[in-house]
Amino acid sequence: MQNLRLTLKSRPEGKLGSEHFDRVEEDMGPLADGKARVRVVYVSLDPAMRGWVSPDTKSYIPPVQLGETMRSLGVGIVEESKSDGYKVGDWVSGTPGWTKYVDVAPGEISVVPQMDRIEHYMGVLGLPGVTAYQGLVIEGQPKEGETLCVTGAAGSVGSLAGQIGKALGLRVIGIAGTQEKCDWLTKELGFDAALNYKTDDLSKGLAEFAPDGINLHFENVGGAPFKAAFRNMAAHGRMIFCGFISAYNGDIDPDPLDMTTIIRRRLMLKGFTMPDHYASYPMLFSELGKLMMQGKLKYRLHVEEGLENAPVVFNKLFDGSNTGKLVVKVSDL
């Protein structure tokens, strides 16, 4: 059985590209006892992966080593099993990496319930949903009636954070980068308002929507949208930092913040990452599943074909040209 995987060849300075990865074509050989062979169906492309290929910077997770298969979340199906933990046909979700096949031992990847679509595990029940829920609800402690602002609001995490906010009784404004995305937020997802950071005056728009200030802010992108929110926070407002994508390729915004705002308005700024809340996973899945079944959480995928294209397709996350949760289809279910 022929496999293809992409291993890290060199650490990028700026954008990720094909030149940073080696294509490894190899025969899988026979399956070892105690293991199962997984055929990957989708791999997930997420902004955090840019940090995983950076040199070690005391980050929350060790960097991918040179020569290692690129780390990536994904879903797949068990093709062959010599393990009691897996049976042929099982759906699995975890971190297979950029590979067509992977042999796993129990504990290395999770069997998940089969639903109408395996794609749910890339969306509401995948990294985007879990991240949105833990950031908004566990870190942000929202209270009914509060005003929530979400940047990167049409992104996979932002769109779910906003919808969870609506489900919990918050007033929600989203900031996105095209009129089409803004329309999707207000007309399809039920956001109360949306601003286009390329054409709207953000400070004015936020001040009009939230004359008493923003109580809770969910940050995904950094740059001008972040600053507009920062300047419009209410006293005792909380800003939850999920992502700061504008800085991931090494660009640091040259326009400094007035940090005294943090004191004058007694703000809390709090960063979080998904692995800090592994213990909450069962609760997160259950809560997200409930909201999804009630039709309150919609998402859309942006599917690209072909594992070998992953390094280049990845950059769509940074220019905003993806139109949903970005995934690469590796094989048919």
244 sits near a copy of itself (criterion: CB under 8 A): yes
Selected binder of a copy of itself within 30, 266, 293, 305 (CB under 8 A):
266
279 sits near a copy of itself (criterion: CB under 8 A): no
From the DSSP assignment, how many helices (H) and strands (E) are in the chain?
A: 10, 15
Q: Binding string, 42-61, against a copy of itself, x = CB under 8 A?
A: ---------x-----xxxx-
Bridge partner residues of 69 (DSSP): 7
> Is the Cβ of residue 142 or residue 213 nearer to a copy of itself in the bound state?
213
State how far the Cα of 317 lies from the Cα of 301, in Å rounded to an integer: 13
- Least Å distance, CB 307 to a copy of itself, is 28
Sole residue written with tokens 């769509």 = 316
Q: Considering only the stretches 109-117, 142-150, 244-252, 289-297, report the one whose residues sit in contact with a copy of itself under the rule CB under 8 A.
A: 244-252
Sole residue written with tokens 């900031």 = 175
Sole residue written with tokens 């030149």 = 19
Selected binder of a copy of itself within 276, 306, 309, 312 (CB under 8 A):
276
Selected binder of a copy of itself within 28, 190, 272, 323 (CB under 8 A):
272
Bridge partner residues of 74 (DSSP): 43, 94
From the number of C-beta atoms within 10 Å of its C-beta (0-12, 13-18, 19+), residue 319 rates as exposed
Alpha-carbon distances, residue 239 vs 160, 175, 221, 266, 267 (angstroms): 17, 15, 13, 11, 7
- Least Å distance, CB 258 to a copy of itself, is 6
258 sits near a copy of itself (criterion: CB under 8 A): yes
- Least Å distance, CB 267 to a copy of itself, is 5
Selected binder of a copy of itself within 247, 289, 298, 300 (CB under 8 A):
247
State how far the Cα of 304 lies from the Cα of 316, in Å rounded to an integer: 11
Footprint on residues 175-234 left by a copy of itself (CB under 8 A): 213, 222, 226
Closest CA to 234 of 257, 268, 201, 260: 268
Count how many residues are written for the chain: 333
- Least Å distance, CB 61 to a copy of itself, is 9
- Least Å distance, CB 126 to a copy of itself, is 19
> Is the Cβ of residue 263 or residue 279 nearer to a copy of itself in the bound state?
263
State how far the Cα of 60 lies from the Cα of 197, in Å rounded to an integer: 30
Binding residue count for a copy of itself, defined by CB under 8 A = 38
The tokens for 200 are: 């709207």
235 sits near a copy of itself (criterion: CB under 8 A): yes
List of residues 6+ apart from 318 with CB closer than 8 A: 15, 47, 245, 248, 249
> Is the Cβ of residue 73 or residue 307 nearer to a copy of itself in the bound state?
73
- Least Å distance, CB 103 to a copy of itself, is 31
Residues in touch with a copy of itself (CB under 8 A): 51, 57-60, 213, 222, 226, 235, 241-244, 247-248, 252-273, 276
